[in-house]
Structure 1
Amino acid sequence: MNVVYNKALKYYLGRRLDLAFILIVLLSGTYFYGFEKVEFAGYRRDDPDEFRMKVRFPEHFTIDQKNDFFTTVENIVETNKVELGISSYRIEFNKHTHGDFEADYSKEAGTAGIPREEIPDHLYKMFPEIPGVRVFYSGMDTGGEKRNDHKSRHHLRLVGDDARQLQEVGELLRPVFENLPGVLSLEDKDSDEGPNEMALMIDRDKASSIGVSPNDVAGVVSSALRGRSLADFKGNGRQVPVNMRFSEEDRAELEDINNYHVKSDDGRDASIGSLTKPAMLKSQSSIRRSDKKVSYYISMKLKSGEEREARKAIYEAQKNIDLPEGVSFNNPPETFDDDEVSASLIAMGLSVIFIYMLIAFLFESVLMPLSIVLTIPLAAIGAIWAHFVTGTSIDDMGMVGCILLIGVVVNNGIVLIDYANRLRAGGMARNAALLLATRHRFRPIVMTAMTTIFGMIPLTFASASAMGRSFESFGFMIIGGMASATLFTLLAVPVFYTLIDDAQKALQNTLATVLGRSPKPSAAE
């Protein structure tokens, strides 16, 4: 291989512009096609080996009732575990109100071909529905602050001042986003919870005909159930607060409320039951407020493999929605947002500047370090295409790997150019020095790259759950970048070296001519 590389270098030293053209084409294709196809994501790429579902039971549930519930769950899982791709499962419960169900994914996908992140959803739908029993699992909307840091889920946040208005707007928008391409389903908070509020719906026409207002009805019901404060009792120098309320047996049932009477304008009595109709409603169980604004979330699960297209469709739909006054979209934060991307790009730029300054100091030249620094974009060719071929998104750890890669890929060029300079200082012609330096430094350069690449393989393909997070992007950034940088270093660096050396000589001769000095002879070929 060393001989082949040496022959290729000798060929391109005579056709330097041809090699430059090839590299420009590769860089252009990488940027305009590969880079556009690779998704840059501010979310975590989660690939867990297990999942957990928590069950909350009513306080009156006995151990036997809990055992019956989990026995049913075990039968369901045992029947469907091959289809779902579940290898084993565990159940734990006690006399308290909570129980746990844990399951391990099989190494091979289930026969149904369901993606891992969707398996808990399918299993949840198979669980027995028992009043009062609540099931929670990862990916289920359980309230709290949302962050767009998961590949398979996306959250939209509506903000405003009126919680009821936000809920009405959110309910109207849910079908719009649910039907978008790439959206699997909407996460529905507390979807298994029934109505939690009883309301008395007033027959306004009937009440108005006898001169009773809704406030009159509300006042009677409120006084009966919650009581009403009366004037304080004063006696023997003491002041005692007085509160009036119906006795408990007179307000225990709905029928008791229906028998309450309210006065009409003409002094007649009308029963609450004759003016109202009871109805069970589902009201908000919580209100989220951030920066004095109330929040309402629309959470979506995305189809596996179609996440990028789904997010584009969601963003386009957002642009075309005309929200009422006082309501606006406010996207949830991401783990790695645009500000941090900008900070990473600044860090990369500073890294290149510091490397250039260090090499300039080493070689005592302003132009010669460019022959080495120009190899940094060549590392991007392998890094981008490694992500493209594997379908991996560039995440925050990928950006860290990119910064690290900048400092690593220049090492080969430094070693090669330093050796060539020493050979030229000993009187050897430039091209001969480059060919000899490449021949002698070929093995160390390749071995250094191979040890780095093979050392990154275990980290790259390690389980995300075992490592605590995914290092796929980090690993592919180093592996792909080192591979392409090594491949092109032994060709590009010597060719760049000769081009910059010629430019440097031409600049020196031009300055010598302008200043009236004798120009230096050109470098020996």
Structure 2
Amino acid sequence: ETLASVTSVAAIGRDANDSFRGEVRLTLRPASARTRSNTEIADALRAELTGRIPGLKIRTRAPQGQFLLERVLGTDDGITVEVQGHALETLDALSRRAARRVAAVPGVTDVDSSRDAGMPQARVYIDRRKAAELGLSPGDIARTLEIAIAGADAGDFHVEGNAYRIFVQLAAAEHLTPSEILDLRVRNTRGEDIELRSVVTTDPGLGPIVIERKAQRRLVKITAGVAGRDIGSVARDVERALAELPRPDGYSLRVAGTFEEQQRAFEELLVSLALSLALVYMVLAAQYESLRTPLVVMLSVPVAAIGVVLVLVLTATTLNVQSFIGCIMLGGIVVNNAILLVDQARRLQEGGAPVRAAVTEAGRRRLRPILMTTLTTVLALLPLSLGLGEGTDAQAPLARAVLGGLAASTVITLVLIPVVFSLVHPDRDADRRAKARAD
């Protein structure tokens, strides 16, 4: 009753860990036609599918608040931990311990490591003493193995002015078994053919196909999904869990991926917010030909922050990229009401009205337009802020931030701005009368 269609089944092929990957995308029915959210359905699928098919690792994920950001960044992993070091064995052991710590954090799902799997390989150990007794050097043995398996360049063959490369390799070398490789013979310094198995031993195991590096250091990535919590709080819990994990010198653990890009986006958005407020102040200062009057208008911006915080807390909405963009929009929206009020009060004061009478009359004249502009904006954002309709969840934080900030700023502005205006622009006639009485 919840599934509308299977939109795509994509076979992605083989990855660096020599495993096949596939992706199935499901389209759900409209939210009004089902009783569970997309996150609840993903949790149910995860519980149903995990461990059902041996050898198959299944990850389920539902789009959440950061879905658009993750698509822009080209990733769908909620948390990425980068483990860096030098020795592969130490790096593998450290990454496994880190993966267990990450999996223990509430809200983390589908923990995976880039080194969980590998290609079967066999390490060859040379008995140097025995090889020396039989007249073989480690270099002779290594060259024999290299030519037999990987091949070797044996020079060029020239015919009628054309050069052809000569490459020597055993036929069907990729199909040789370890036992067949050990049957190969190496010629010693006395011209005798010695079987490899008499001077070497093998140790089967798994080895990486690709060794990732970052900043000239070997790298293992641990990825995980996030469900039921915001990515910021989960990432901070992961950082605390990893901080308690002992690590050798020269090895590092850090949270990267989507969380790192989110933090960088917040820093850039903070600069954008400061720049937008500076531009608004510069325009107002040029229009009013004053440095004090724009400060009265700009006072409505921090007041709007009260409403933003209140609405985000009441709706259990996190301060994410969308809500931060809403805060930037507020920087240009909330000053409009203050501009209407301050501009009218200045005109009345310049016409000779006392400051108290000027702000009172300005409030009476501008109350209706202020309420009309605020109500139209609030009502227009209300459906989006409530998450009504399909696809509105991603943009709801933006609407909630704008709605809360605008509503709070309007209510407080009607009281606070007249008071501050009276303090910044004192009544000159009253001052002159007070001075005359004193004389």
State the TM-score, normalized to the length of structure 1. 0.62
What per-residue deviation string (whole Å, max 9, x for no partner) do you get for residues 162-204 of structure 1?
Answer: 666544432343223333454345124486x6x6323155596
What pairs up with 1:228-377 in 2 under 5 angstroms? 246=170, 252-261=176-185, 269-270=194-195, 272=197, 276=201, 279=204, 281-305=205-229, 307-329=231-253, 331-332=255-256, 334=258, 336=261, 338=263, 340-377=265-302
User: Which amino acid in the other structure matches residue 324 of structure 1?
Assistant: P
* Alpha carbons 1:180, 1:314 under 8 Å: kept: yes
Higher deviation after alignment, 419-428 or 228-237: 228-237
Paired residue type of 1:481: G
Counterpart of 2:362, as a letter, is: A
Distance 1:480 1:521, change over 3 A: farther
- Alpha-carbon contact 2:131-2:199 (below 8 Å) kept: no
Matched, 1:452 2:377: yes
**1:147–1:160 CA distance, 2 compared to 1 (3 A):** farther
> Residue deviations 1:16-48, cap 9 Å, x none?
xxxxxxxxxxxxxxxxxxxxxxxxxxxxxxxxx
Which whole-Å CA distance do the structure 2 matches of 1:473 and 1:374 have between them? 24
Percent same amino acid at aligned positions?
20
Decide which of 416, 421, 430 is 1:497's aligned counterpart.
Answer: 421
- Change in 2 beyond 3 A, CA 1:152/1:388: farther
Tell me which of 296, 303, 325 is aligned to 1:400: 325
CA distance in 2 between counterparts of 1:376 and 1:128 reads 56
1:183-202 equivalence runs, <5 A: 183-189=108-114, 196-199=119-122, 202=125
- Counterpart Cα distance in 1 of 2:326 and 2:175: 68
Gaps of 5+ in 1: 1-81, 140-144, 513-517
Match of 1:102 among 25, 32, 41: 25
Query: Could you tell me how far apart the structure 2 residues matched to 1:237 and 1:402 are?
Result: 73
2:4 corresponds to = 88
Deviation (angstroms), 1:476: 1.6
In structure 2, C-alpha distance between the alignment counterparts of 1:381 and 1:250, rounded to whole Å = 68
Distance of aligned partners of 1:242 and 1:423 in 2 relative to their CA distance in 1, 3 Å threshold = closer
Q: Which amino acid aligns with 1:298?
A: I
In the alignment, the residues of structure 2 paired with residue 238 and residue 492 of structure 1 have an alpha-carbon distance, to the nearest angstrom, of 90
In the superposition, the TM-score normalised over structure 2's length comes to 0.72
3-state SS, counterpart of residue 248 of structure 2? coil
Q: Quote the Cα distance in structure 1 between the aligned partners of 2:175 and 2:270.
A: 68
What do the CA deviations read for 1:334-366 (whole angstroms, capped 9, x no partner)?
A: 575555544433443343344334434444544
Mapped partners of 2:12, 2:300: distance in 1: 64
> Alignment length, in residue pairs?
417
Q: Structure 1: how far apart are the matches of 2:294 and 2:226? A: 47
Matches within 5 A, 1:477-516: 477-502=401-426
Provide the residue aligned with 2:103 in structure 1: 178
Distance 1:231 1:150 in 2: 46
State the secondary structure of the residue aligned to 2:207. coil
1:418 to 339, 343, 346: 343
Secondary structure (helix, strand or coil) at the match of 1:282 reads strand
Q: Secondary structure at the match of 1:369?
A: helix
Over 3 Å counting, the alpha-carbon distance change for 1:117 and 1:391 in structure 2 is farther
CA offsets 1:107-151 (integer angstroms, 9 cap, x no match): 34559x964554564465366458xx9978769xxxxx9999989
- SS of the aligned residue for 2:256 comes to coil
CA distance 1:265–1:300, shift in 2 (3 Å): farther
Deviation at 1:292, TM superposition (A): 4.0
- The alpha carbon displacement at 1:423 in A equals 3.8
